[in-house]
Chain A
Amino acid sequence: MSVPPVSLDRRQVLVIGAAWTLPAAAQPADPVHDLEAAVRGFAGSAPVRQGRVTLDIAPLVDNGNTVPVSVTVDSPMTEQDHVQAIAVFNERNPQRDVASFVLTPRCGRARVDTRIRLATSQKLVAVARLSDGSVWSHTVDVVVTLAACIES
């Protein structure tokens, strides 16, 4: 069988493919627009591990304007072993930051609840930094249904 001629589409695909192989240095990390960069900014040099953090959010949301979320971290919250900070980042809102929290052993329990806005279906990440310097995260996929009738 003869090889089909390279179509315009395939050439475009090749060009796009090449762009993705650019060295990382050529694409500066942008924590405002890039989810991974935002998480990296919070974690610093510590590796981000999966676990110990539970980001609790409904998988299917009525309305993206007000979405209850809860972040719990498995931690005794003692002077020697506690959560120092929790941050929540999103994937597709106009900016990545949602909220961050500073905890102390005086909290007693590593759990925060709030309500957030989600512009569309996307990933949500909760990251926690512990007193021993380790960083843990949990990522959840959320489906957001949008209002059917536009009022304004």
Chain B
Amino acid sequence: MARTLITAPRTARRGEVIEIRTLIAHAMETGLRVDAEGRKLPRDIIHRFTCRYGDELVFSAELFAAVAANPYIAFSTVATASGTLSLTWEGDNGFAHTETLALTVT
């Protein structure tokens, strides 16, 4: 399980634009570095991030090796109805991590 830090409000008014800030622990190994013996360290990065609000995909990102280690992604979404936000990170070597947030919309 990857470590994450997520900032998002638990409640919002209908129509309010809320900000979601995410941080996930991941080395984002570029595939260009070499170890002490001169062997290339294989690429191992998170390459995709998605945010689903209920069933709807509201935001997604494609990440490349130029994204810094322990990737930080901040974006916003409109509070429409109470529901669950599902944040997913996918990466090399089958890396997959999901965090869910409950949002109450008044």
Contacts and interface: CB of A to CB of B under 8 A. Distances in A.
Contacts of A143: none
Interface stretch (A22-30, A51-59, A113-121): A113-121
Given A101-B59, A103-B59, A106-B78, A114 B65 contact: no
B67 A109 contact: no
Interface residues of B, number: 30
Contact of A95 (B17, B65, B68, B75): B65
A100 B59 CA distance: 11
B17 to A, nearest CB: 4
Contacts of A113: 21, 72-75
Interface of B: 17-18, 21, 30, 32, 36, 53, 56-69, 71-78, 80
5 contacts: A99-B63, A102-B61, A103-B59, A107-B58, A107-B59
Interface of A: 65-68, 90, 93-95, 97-109, 111-118, 152
